Amino acid sequence: MSFIKAIRWMVWKDLITEMRSRETLVSMLFFALIVILVFSFSFSMDHQAARELLAGIIWVAFAFTGIIGLGKSFLAELHNDCLEYLQMSPAPKGAIYLGKMTANFLFMLLAEVVLFPLFIIFFNLDVVEEIWILLVVFLLATEGLAAVGTLFSALTVQIRAREVMLPVLLLPMVIPVMIAAVESTRGALNGEPFALYSQWFHLLGVFDLIFTVVSYWLFELILDT
């Protein structure tokens, strides 16, 4: 089985499973909705304060939603010993990682694309001009979260207290992604010139590159028997 084909089958398998159960996406969306509501109650924001805080709120909501999705990613494989079949399968381990990462990336991105209009409605945003910049931020930051998150999801799925361990391990590691995403989102929402926050795009790009390669290389050790 060729490398690309293995990746495609992994993604296809996850998408099919998700389409049949709709478990991950539905729980992610409802969780994020609740996060948005709780934030809007606890800050009781006017229009001006919202602009300052909103970038942070958006990314906290996205990160926690992402963790829900990432946690479920390998949990589904535990049923019926699917994980062991993955370990035994002749497909390259790297391809399994890339497939899982792509699937997680798609789920998280889908959730973000559904949620962001809700933010626009709830907080009266005006983002017509910056929508493409924001989309690039979402793509890059979600890739970074998915790259480290998929590795850590596989790392924590077989241990006790996995629900606690995934965020405890993941959140300190993705602090650069969070800072870069929040800063560039804030810049875009405030309508600042692109040059002022373009440095964060470099940071996101470097982080994505490094951690996709490192996780790709280390994933083999986790699926080892």
Partner 1 sequence: MIHRIIKQIQRYKGWVGAGAAVCLLTGTYLGLIASPPDYYQGEVVRIMYVHVPLAHTALLAYTVVFAGSIWYLWKRDRLIDNMCHAAAGLGFLFTGLALITGSIWAKPTWNTWWTWDPRLVSFAILFLILAGYLMLRTFLTEDPDRESRYAAVLAIVGFIDLPIIHFSVEWWRTLHQPLSISTRGVSISGELLLPLTIMSIGFHLLFAYMLMVRTQLLYLDELLQAKKGRLLTQMHLSRSQTSP
d(CA 147, CA 96): 13
Helix (H) or strand (E) holding 3: helix 3-21
Out of 129, 160, 193, 195, the only residue in the binding site for partner 1 (CB under 8 A) is 160
Decide if residue 173 touches partner 1 (CB under 8 A).
Answer: yes
Least distance (Å) from partner 1 to the CB of residue 208? 11
Say how many CA atoms lie within 13 Å of 163 toward its Cβ.
1
Decide if residue 195 touches partner 1 (CB under 8 A).
Answer: no
Out of 58, 146, 151, 188, the only residue in the binding site for partner 1 (CB under 8 A) is 151
- Selected range binding partner 1 among 14-22, 24-32, 128-136, 196-204, rule: CB under 8 A: 196-204
Least distance (Å) from partner 1 to the CB of residue 92? 18
**Which of 15, 111, 96 has the alpha carbon at shortest distance from 66?**
111
Q: Kindly tell me which of 46 and 224 has the beta carbon lying closer to partner 1.
A: 224
Q: Kindly tell me which of 32 and 98 has the beta carbon lying closer to partner 1.
A: 98
**Which of 69, 66, 87, 67 has the alpha carbon at shortest distance from 78?**
87
Decide if residue 97 touches partner 1 (CB under 8 A).
Answer: no
Out of 121, 128, 175, 195, the only residue in the binding site for partner 1 (CB under 8 A) is 175
Q: Kindly tell me which of 58 and 115 has the beta carbon lying closer to partner 1.
A: 58
How distant, in Å, are the alpha carbons of 69, 70, 109, 156, 157 from that of 163? 12, 11, 22, 8, 9
Decide if residue 140 touches partner 1 (CB under 8 A).
Answer: no
Exposure class string for 121-134: b at 16+ Cβ within 10 A, else e: eebebeeeebeebb
Asked whether the beta carbons of 59 and 186 are under 8 A apart, the reply is no
Asked whether the beta carbons of 154 and 223 are under 8 A apart, the reply is yes
Decide if residue 207 touches partner 1 (CB under 8 A).
Answer: yes
Residues that bind partner 1 (CB under 8 A): 148, 151, 155-156, 158-161, 165, 168-169, 172-173, 175-176, 179-180, 183, 199-200, 203, 206-207, 210-211, 214-215, 218, 221-222, 224
